[in-house]
Structure 1
C-alpha cells in the first residue's frame, strides 16, 4: 500500500507483527483518559454503559485492530460495526444529554444511513485513509450520527413502534449495502490490493467478507436492541400485583 494512502492507524499489519501493533497516540490516550475521568466522577447517566463504551473504544482505536484495519477492508468494517452498533448505543445510554434538542427520529435515521453509505463508497473511503484529518472526520461523523440515532431510539418517550421501525430501517439499509459489496464482481476498494495477500485473502475475498459482516453480523446488535425495547414495553404494560 503506498505510504500516501496510509492514514491514522499506520502501515498495514501483517501476521508476524500483529500483536505488537498497539496504538499509543498520546492525544488519543489522553482523550480516553478524560472520558474515564468523567465516568469515574459519576458524570454519566449509566456508568456501566460508559465503561463498556470506553472498553470498546480501546479495542477499535488502541488495540491491533486499528493496524489490521489498514490491511483489510473487512477489519475496517468490523471496526465500524463496533463503533456504530455497540459504542454508539452505550454512549447514548451513558450520555443522553437530555438538555440538547431532540430532532425527529426519521431524519436522524436517514442522516445516519447517508453517513454510513458515504464513507463506504470507494472514493470517500480511500480519501479517509489518505490523511489523519479525513480519518477522524470519518470516525466522528459515523459515531456522532449513530449516537444521535441511538439517543432518539432509546429515549423513554419514543414510542415502541417508532423505535422498532428505526431499527428495521437501519438493518435494511446496512444489509443492502453489505449485499452490494458482497456481490460486486470486482474489487472496489483498490487501496487494499497490496495488503490482503499477507492474510491469505485476495482483495475480492476480503471485500466479500466485509460485505457479509455488514450484511449478517451487523444486524445482531440491532435485533438485540429491538428485543430489549419490545420486552421493556411489554413489562411496562403489565399490571402491578
Structure 2
C-alpha cells in the first residue's frame, strides 16, 4: 500500500485536511461554486414561480442544504474524516434528494420505473465507497463532482419513484431493498478488519479518532441513521398498500 503520508491533496476540491484548530476558518468560497449556487437558485425560483407552496419550500430547503454542505467547513472536514464524508453523502442522498424529488412535478414520479432507479442508486453508492474510487475523488475536482452529482441524481430519481409511484407496495419494497443494501454496506465498514481508505490514514488523529474508529463511525452512520428515512417510507407505503380500500373486493 502507498504510505499514507505520501497521499497528495493538491487537487482536492475542499482543500487539504484541516485540524480541529483550523476547521472553523475553512469556509469554501470558490467563486465558481458560489456562482453556480446563485444561478441554480434563480433558475429554481423562476421554474417554480407558479408551483405549489410545498414544491417551492422543498426546493428552497434543498438549495439551502446544498449550500451548507459545499460552502461550510463540513466540506473541509470530509477531507479529514471518512465519517464526515459519509455524513455528507447521507445528507445529500437521504435529505437533499427527497427534497428535490418533492420539488419536481408529481407526474414525473408516476412514470419512474422503480427497479432501474434502485439499481442505479445502489451501484452509485457502492461504487463511490469502493476504496479506489473513493480515493480518486480527492485527486481532481472533476472526479469529486462526478461523485457528488451522480449520487444526488441517482437518489433523486429513486426518491421520486418511492414518493410518487402509484404502486404503493412496489414503492415500499423498493425502499426496503434500498435500506437493506445500505445497511449491509454500513455493516461491512463497521466490521472490516482494518482501515480501507488511504486518504484518511494520516488525517483522523487530529480529531481524536484512529482511522479504524473513524471508518467504523462512518459505517454506523450508514447502517443506522441513514436508513431511518427509507424505513419511514417503507412503513408509510406498505401501510398505504394494505389499506382496505386498496384491496381487491372478494368475489
For 1:12, which of 9, 17, 27 is the aligned residue?
A: 17
For 1:149, which of 158, 169, 176 is the aligned residue?
A: 158
SS in 2 for 1:24: coil
Residue 109 of structure 2 contacts residue 160 of structure 2 at CA under 8 Å; is this kept in 1?
Answer: no
Aligned residue in 2 for 1:162: 170
Aligned residue in 2 for 1:216: 224
Residue 125 of structure 2 contacts residue 151 of structure 2 at CA under 8 Å; is this kept in 1?
Answer: yes
Residue 169 of structure 2 contacts residue 237 of structure 2 at CA under 8 Å; is this kept in 1?
Answer: no
After TM superposition, the score normalised by the length of structure 1 is: 0.90
* 1:158-201 per-position Cα deviation (integer Å, ceiling 9, x unaligned): 21111111110010000000000110011100211111010011
Question: Structure 2 matches for 1:100-111, cutoff 5 A?
Answer: 102-111=111-120
Aligned residue in 1 for 2:27: 22
For 1:197, which of 198, 205, 215 is the aligned residue?
A: 205
**Structure exhibiting the larger radius of gyration computed from Cα positions:** 2
* C-alpha deviation, 1:25, in angstroms: 1.2
CA distance in 2, matches of 1:172, 1:5: 37
When the two chains are superposed, the root-mean-square deviation of aligned CA atoms in Å is: 2.4
For 1:47, which of 41, 47, 56 is the aligned residue?
A: 56
Residue 17 of structure 2 contacts residue 76 of structure 2 at CA under 8 Å; is this kept in 1?
Answer: yes
* C-alpha deviation, 1:4, in angstroms: 4.2
Residue ranges of structure 2 left out of the alignment (5+ in a row): 247-251
SS in 2 for 1:70: helix
Residue 58 of structure 2 contacts residue 103 of structure 2 at CA under 8 Å; is this kept in 1?
Answer: yes
Pairs aligned (count) = 237
CA distance in 2, matches of 1:236, 1:90: 30
**Cα 1:233/1:20, change in 2 over 3 Å:** farther
- 1:82 equivalent to 2:91? Answer yes
CA distance in 2, matches of 1:21, 1:91: 27
* 1:95-127 per-position Cα deviation (integer Å, ceiling 9, x unaligned): 248469945211210111011000001010001
CA distance in 2, matches of 1:232, 1:20: 48
CA distance in 2, matches of 1:159, 1:235: 13
Aligned residue in 1 for 2:74: 65
After TM superposition, the score normalised by the length of structure 2 is: 0.86
CA distance in 2, matches of 1:100, 1:235: 22
* C-alpha deviation, 1:6, in angstroms: 5.1
For 2:195, which of 178, 187, 194 is the aligned residue?
A: 187
* 1:19-58 per-position Cα deviation (integer Å, ceiling 9, x unaligned): 1111111121122212222343334550111111111112
Residue 112 of structure 1 contacts residue 142 of structure 1 at CA under 8 Å; is this kept in 2?
Answer: yes
* 1:116-172 per-position Cα deviation (integer Å, ceiling 9, x unaligned): 0000010100011111100000011101110111111122x4211111111100100
